[in-house]
Amino acid sequence: MEDKVGASEKPVLSFVSKRISKLLETRPENDKDTLEALKELSTFYTENTPDERRNLRTKIEKRNSAINEDFLVAFKEVKNVLDDMREDVYGMSQCLESMTTRLQITKAKTMQLMEQTTRLQNESEKLSMQKEIALAFIRTFQLTPDEVAVLHGNTREASITEEFFVVLSKVQEIHNNCRLLMQSGHQTLALDIMHRMTLLQEDGLDRLCRWTQTHCRHIENEQLIPLLTKAMGKLQERTILFKYVLDEYCTARRSILVSSFIDALTLGKGHGSGSNPIEMHANDPKRYIGDIFAWLHQAIPAEKENLFVLLKACDKSAMMDQISQALSNITEGLCHPLRSRIEHIVALEAPSTILYSVTTLMRFYRATLKAVIQDSVLDLMLDELLELSERSFINRLQRETRIALGERVEPPDTDLVPAPSISRLLSLLNEVLSVASIAEDREKDMLQIVSCIIDPLLQEVNETASRLPTVDMAVYLLNCIHQIHSTLALYEYMDHRLERLQAQSDAQIDTLTSEQAGSLVANLNLGPIYNILQSRDLQGPLSSIPGMDSLSIKEFTNKLETFLVVPEVLLLPQISLLQSSTHRLTTQRRAFEIISAIYKQLYDACYEPKNLYPNPKILFYHTPEEMEKLLVAP
């Protein structure tokens, strides 16, 4: 029994021992719950007495009971409040269920109404859209009554306004839009609208054509210009109507242009504003022609400018031929009065210088106007008149040349100066070339003018000179050629002609040089010596040949020394009659060169040992080089 008790107490003791050990090991200062319990305990456990310790448990239990009672009282109040809230919530729940039921009933009724309203609203929007589409279609594919009235006009003579072109453009736009309508599948409707628009467009264009035909002649009116320009742009689509208007315009402008030209000729450009009539200066061909073409130069480009203004809204690439043709029709009326006056002027017996001035004026204005009226009737007529003027000038120049030369050039006087007729012709040539040198295309003119005068002049000079002795002929020809050469050298494009004259001069200088050298050889008795030096069949030394002995050579060198003192004594008298100092010096120098060459040949021959001259130094006063300087050097 004891063993059993001892065995049962053993675990208890062990448990108590563990609890005690745990309590001993526990540190109350680190246990928060313990500290809180002790703190609460201190509020009612004020004295540590045995009674207090014995009653501590009872106090704690009573305190715990009191606290629970307080909780019960507080929870009862809460419960009552919660019960009241529960009753309220239940009442609210009943009310909400009632309201939900009523709302569901109302919603069911309202849903039907809303569906009906939505359906009606959709139908209203659809109808509004159809209305807008219909109105847009009408605006796009129909004209308003006011627009139709503008297109047709209140009366046949009603004026065209800017609004007319707006309506006409709208008709064309509707016609073009009908193609899109056809592509969308509305062929019948599109064709009906197109037919209607075509009729309206044709009526509008007919009215526009009549109005334009009536007012196109007033192209200078600045208020009408914009309307006329737009009208022609619209009418370009109708070739026949466009041609009618353009023909009417050309007829009106041609009449106005011809009338203005006649007024300028007879009344004056200013029509009483102080300008003199052009025909007042008909006795002055140059001014008369200049005034006429100056007027044309002003008037014709103005007409072309008017055409460009009139057709400004048209397609220019398709209009250039029609513009050229229209300008040709307008200016054609000027042909008759212009031709009669110019033909009268070029037929006058005026000097060639005047006719050439007229020709250059016509050529200048012809080139200027050609850019404006190319290939027109007036252009072709101006070509004919220019050719007539050029032909009249050449004929007059040839006639004046023949008159100046007469039957033939007069024989020269003893001084061998050119005849007066040559001076007159060269003066005429100078006058004409002075005008030609500042003209356009002057090279061709100058060469032709020179050919007309110089060729017959040279022919007559050569015929006259052929009747003179050789030396006189050479001098006379040189004087004439020099005078001609001096005149032509002042102008350009004469190089070839000057070369030919220079070649003729060189030929005559060669002739004159030959004659002068022959005269010097004869006067210096150099002929036999020269012949012997040139002979190739000599036998024996030169000193043994008669005429080549030392005495003959010494006689020659003595004469040569005398000649060197006064060389002019042995010159031909005709040399001094040369008008050109260059010709005189050239002839003299070349003749002296011949003498110098013969002298050198003789000098070398005498110093040849084979010719057996005993003392050649006493025969010559100068070496060939010294002689050349004395004779040839200037």
If asked whether residues 555 and 624 sit together in one domain, one would say yes
d(CA 28, CA 31): 5
428 belongs to a structural domain: yes
Residue-number span of the structural domain to which 428 is assigned: 406-493
Rounded CA separation 473/508 (Å): 9
Higher pLDDT, 25 or 566: 566
Of 7-16, 235-244, 557-566, the range with the lowest mean pLDDT is 7-16
CA-based R_g, the chain, Å: 68
Asked if the structure places residue 223 within a domain, the reply is yes
Q: How far apart are CA 611 and CA 94, in angstroms?
A: 179
| Mean pLDDT to the nearest integer, 179-195 | 73
Token pair 């009338």: residue: 259
| CA gap 239, 322 in Å, rounded | 11
> Residue 576 is part of a domain; what is its CATH number?
1.20.1280
Mark whether 518 and 457 lie in a shared domain.
Answer: no
Same domain, 240 and 361: yes
pLDDT at 503: 92
Q: Which of 437, 425, 433, 444 shows the shortest CA–CA distance to 484?
A: 425
Give Cα 519 distance to the centre of its chain: 72
Of residues 381, 280, 271, the one with CA closest to residue 334: 381
Question: What mean pLDDT do residues 234-256 have?
Answer: 86
Between the two ends of the chain, the Cα-to-Cα distance in Å is 190
Report which of 426, 373, 377 is spatially closest to residue 400, judged by C-alpha positions.
426
| Distance of alpha carbon 322 from the chain centroid | 24
Q: Can you tell me the distance from the alpha carbon of 515 to that of 357, in angstroms, rounded to the nearest whole number?
A: 47
Domain end among 392, 425, 444: 392
CA nearest to 208, candidates 183, 227, 224:
227
DSSP letter assigned to residue 492 = T
Characterize 143-168 residue by residue with b for buried, 16 or more Cβ atoms within 10 angstroms of its Cβ, and e for exposed: beeebeebbbbeeeeeebeeebbebb
State the Cα torsion 547-550-553-558 to the nearest 10°: -140
Mind spelling out the 3-state secondary structure of 163-198?
HHHHHHHHHHHHHHHHHHHHHCCCHHHHHHHHHHHH
Which range of 44-48, 156-160, 178-182, 542-546 scores highest in mean pLDDT? It is 542-546
* Candidate from 26-30, 261-265, 417-421, 542-546 with smallest mean pLDDT: 26-30
Query: Would you tell me how many other CB atoms lie within 10 Å of the CB of residue 391?
Result: 12
Round the average pLDDT of the chain to a whole number and report it: 81
Tell me how crowded residue 308 is: count the other CB atoms within 10 A of its CB.
Answer: 13
Q: Among the three residues 341, 359, 392, which one is the final residue of a domain in this structure?
A: 392
3-state secondary structure of 618: helix
Lookup: tokens for 20? 């005690």
3-class SS letters over 527-580: HHHHHHHHCCCCCCCHHHCCCCCHHHHHHHHHHHHHHHHCHHHHCCHHHHHCCC
> In this predicted model, which residue has the larger pLDDT, 143 or 366?
366
- Full-model pTM: 0.63
CB neighbours of residue 475 within 10 Å: 32
pLDDT attached to residue 23: 64
pLDDT tens column, 480-494: 999 988 888 888 888
Q: In this structure, is residue 300 part of a structural domain?
A: yes
The set of residues, in sequence order, having a beta carbon less than 8 Å from that of 441 and lying 6+ positions away, is 363
Please, which residues have CB within 8 angstroms of residue 114's CB and are 6 or more apart in sequence?
Answer: none
Range with the largest mean pLDDT of 134-143, 206-215, 448-457, 606-615: 448-457
Residue 408, pLDDT > 60, answer no
Domain co-membership, 412 together with 379: no
**Range ranked top by mean pLDDT from 52-61, 66-75, 316-325:** 66-75
Question: Would 561 be classed as within a structural domain?
Answer: yes
> What's the confidence (pLDDT) of residue 336?
92
The CB-side HSE value for 122 (13 A sphere, CA atoms) comes to: 6
Q: Are residues 413 and 346 in the same domain?
A: no
Q: Are residues 388 and 410 in the same domain?
A: no
Tell me: the pLDDT tens digits for 497-546? Answer: 889 989 999 998 899 888 888 888 888 878 888 787 777 666 677 777 88
pLDDT grade for 131, boundaries at 50, 70 and 90? confident
Interior CA angle at 599 toward 598 and 602, to 5°?
Answer: 85
Q: Which residues contact 175 (CB under 8 A, 6 or more apart)?
A: 194, 197, 198, 201
> What's the rounded Cα separation, in Å, for the pair 359 and 619?
73
Let me know whether 538 and 482 are in one domain. no
* b (16+ CB within 10 A) / e for 443-461: eebbeebbebbbebbbebb
Report the 3 state secondary structure along 262-292.
HHHHHCCCCCCCCCCCHHHHCCCHHHHHHHH
Cα separation, 350 vs 285, in Å, equals: 8
Is residue 274 predicted with pLDDT exceeding 50? no
From residue 354, give the alpha-carbon distance in Å to each of 289, 360, 444, 448, 472: 11, 10, 19, 17, 38
Which residue type occupies 299? A
Say how many domains are in the chain. Answer: 3
The single residue listed with the structure tokens 């005047």 is 354
DSSP state of 375: T
pLDDT at 279: 85
**pLDDT score at 272:** 40
Contact 417, 579 (CB under 8 A): yes
**Tokens at 624, concatenated:** 């060939």
Q: Give residues with Cβ within 8 angstroms of 281, minimum separation 6.
A: 287, 288, 291
Q: Which two tokens stand for residue 36?
A: 């809180």
Residue 584 in any domain: the answer is yes
How far apart are alpha carbons 64 and 59 in whole angstroms? 8
Q: Are residues 267 and 367 in the same domain?
A: yes
**Type of residue numbered 623:** T
Q: What is the predicted pLDDT for the residue at 521? A: 83
401 occurs within a structural domain: no
Q: Which pLDDT value is given to residue 50?
A: 75
CA distance 243 to 250: 10
Do 411 and 463 have their domain in common? yes
What is the per-residue pLDDT for 31?
Answer: 66
CA distance 369 to 364: 9
Specify the higher pLDDT residue, 102 or 130: 102
Residue 590 has pLDDT above 60, yes or no: yes
Q: Indicate the residue type of 504.
A: Q
- Coil/strand/helix, residue 160: coil
Kindly tell me if the per-residue pLDDT of 30 is higher than 70: no
Boundary residue ending a domain (345, 362, 392): 392
Q: Which residue has the higher pLDDT, 317 or 517?
A: 517
Residue 604 counted as domain residue = yes
Q: Is the pLDDT of residue 601 over 80?
A: yes
Exposure letters 397-418 (e unless 16+ CB within 10 A, then b): beebbeebbeeebeebeeebbb
Tokens 């350009």, residue located: 492
For range 112-124, the mean pLDDT: 86
Asked if 240 and 380 sit in the same domain, the reply is yes
pLDDT value, residue 273: 38
For residue 612, is it left (φ>0), alpha (ψ between -120 and 50) or beta?
left
Residues with Cβ within 8 Å of 277's Cβ and at least 6 positions away in sequence, in order, are 264, 265, 266, 267, 268
Q: Are residues 275 and 378 in the same domain?
A: yes
- Does residue 188 form part of some domain? no
539 compared with 9, residue with greater pLDDT: 539
Residues 231 and 337 in one domain: yes
